[in-house]
Amino acid sequence: MRRVGISLTGVLGFLVVAALLAVVAVAVLRESRPEAAAVSTGCESRAGVQVTTTTDFAPVVRAAVDRLAGDVEQCSFDVITASSADAAERIASGTQVPQVWIPDSGIWVERARLGDAGPALTVGPTLATTPVVLAVPGSLAPRAGSLAVQPWQDILRGPLALRVGDPADSTASLLALTSATEALTGTPQGDQLLLTSIIRMSRQAVAGEELLAEASTDTTEATAVAATEQQVFRQLTDATGPPLGVVVPAEGVAPLTYSWVVIPGEDEDDATRDAVARLEQSLLGVAGVVDRREAGFRTADGDGAPDVPAVPAGTAVVSPAPSLGEAEAILADWDAAGGDVRVLAVVDTSTSMLSSAGDRTRIELATDGLGSALEILPPTSQAGLWMFSSNQASGAEWTELAPIDTLDAGRDDGGTHREALLAEVASLTDRTEGGTGLYDTVLAAYRAVQEDYDPDAVNTVVLLTDGREDEPGGLTLYRLLVELQASADPERPVPVHIIGVGTDVYEHELRLITELTGGRHHLASDPAEAGTVFIDVLTRPFRAE
């Protein structure tokens, strides 16, 4: 029987020929199907994996990217800096969507999710945190006191003259304002201090990244600014200016929290997903922890405070992060505080305003409240003052004590319109006599504000009275309502707000008048509340409803 032998050389030759034929066949197929050449086998067909984060955190991300050089061959990384607020807006609208986003607060993630055009967001681990602090220029530190931890009331009343950035753009400023609001609201004194401070700060706001630079100049105009522990650390280590002191609000402020957020695209390939995963591991690994520490950030649970001499160990007081609703309320209040008002204050000086309310008179309480409100109004707002009763020298039932003018407008005597107004308000306690000519005064005040209407401000009348119409021969309620209706102009709305003091006012009449004009009536059945109500009504345009 004959055996058939197969040589090793023959087998190898056959395999080589087969392999060559396969290569040729694949090449022929690719030539006959040109569309296959456009199919990406990795990231080479893309500009790269886009990572968006803040200016402060970008160096940490770039260091993680550098460690991946040569390891992720098919993908490149493009690290783009933007405020978390701007990034959230772009993501929500679908106009600029990165593959990875590292915002500095979960608030912006929630905001990005509100957009109808926005993609799905997958929130991963927290990478780093840093507390919010108030950076204090060196020249201001001695006047700021020796305490590193101070309550908000002392911070806003004291010499720090705190400045913040626009909370719609600066997370540190948003979180600081949220903390101050929670700490101060609930009492008339706290509400007044908060509103006064927000009105002032809204007119002094600069871009968030400019705040620390301004504090670092340490000029005579320098003020404390909202910042983060990491920013103060960076300023210290980079020696970019005189050393800064730090004050921490005693009530606590939520820290900035940097989270890993993945935004997968519909056509994302395996190589991109692998590159994103490798970058996450590079950030979370031992080397990433070192990078974050060296940059001045803390760990996810707040440990590992950087060495900042101005921040003694344990003084960074933190509180829970605000909800999206709480943050939105702060942003709404900020927007409202940035506007202006054009108001005519009208005060009842009839004899009944001399009635006692505890150890003071009604007119004293009213003038105190009006004076405090005029102190709060911003310098660019406008205000005027009338008094009314039946015994006016002019023969009418009202007298103009100060015309409506801008509060910081100069006077011939070298003072301001605000100062002149306050002097007239103080004089009201000596001008009380006669009855209550309410209806004619309301109509005249309404028409006076409407006549010189300012479309760039909230035009309004705020009137305080402790009685009802008792002047014979004047307008009736019916006639007043008819005249107000006839004078109404949708292009020049003038809401009339009336404060009724005591128990002698007719609430029904006040409601009819104010509702017709788009205003509100407010009752202070306890005359001791008149001043507080006056402040509340006059400053209402600066608060979000």
DSSP annotation of 298: B
* Rounded Cα gap, residues 514 and 519, in angstroms: 5
Q: Mean pLDDT for the chain?
A: 84
How does pLDDT run across 191-202, given as a tens digit for each residue?
A: 889 999 999 999
Q: Which candidate, 523, 499, 452, places its Cα nearest to that of 347? A: 499
Q: What are phi and psi of 344, to 5 degrees?
A: -110, 115
Return the amino acid letter for 412: D
Of the two residues 94 and 257, the one the predictor is more confident about is 257
**What pLDDT, on the 0 to 100 scale, is given for residue 21?**
37
Strand residues in 212-296 grouped as ranges (E): 225-228, 245-249, 256-262
Q: Which candidate, 336, 410, 419, places its Cα nearest to that of 375? A: 419
How does pLDDT run across 311-326, given as a tens digit for each residue?
A: 666 666 778 899 999 9
How does pLDDT run across 8-59, given as a tens digit for each residue?
A: 334 334 333 344 333 333 333 333 333 333 333 345 444 579 999 999 999 9
- Mean pLDDT over residues 265-287, rounded? 89
Q: Which of 50-54, 67-71, 122-126, 206-210 has the lowest mean pLDDT?
A: 206-210
This prediction has a pTM of: 0.81
Of all helices (H) and strands (E), which one includes residue 398? strand 398-406
* Rounded Cα gap, residues 314 and 305, in angstroms: 9
- Mean pLDDT over residues 244-269, rounded? 89
- Count the neighbouring beta carbons within 10 Å of the beta carbon of residue 182: 17
Contacts of 363 (CB under 8 A, 6+ apart): 347, 349, 353, 354, 428, 429, 432
Which position has the token pair 């997968």?
Answer: 264
Percent of the chain with pLDDT over 70: 86
How does pLDDT run across 144-195, given as a tens digit for each residue?
A: 655 688 999 999 998 888 999 999 999 999 999 999 999 999 888 898 899 9
Q: Which candidate, 460, 283, 429, places its Cα nearest to that of 360? A: 429
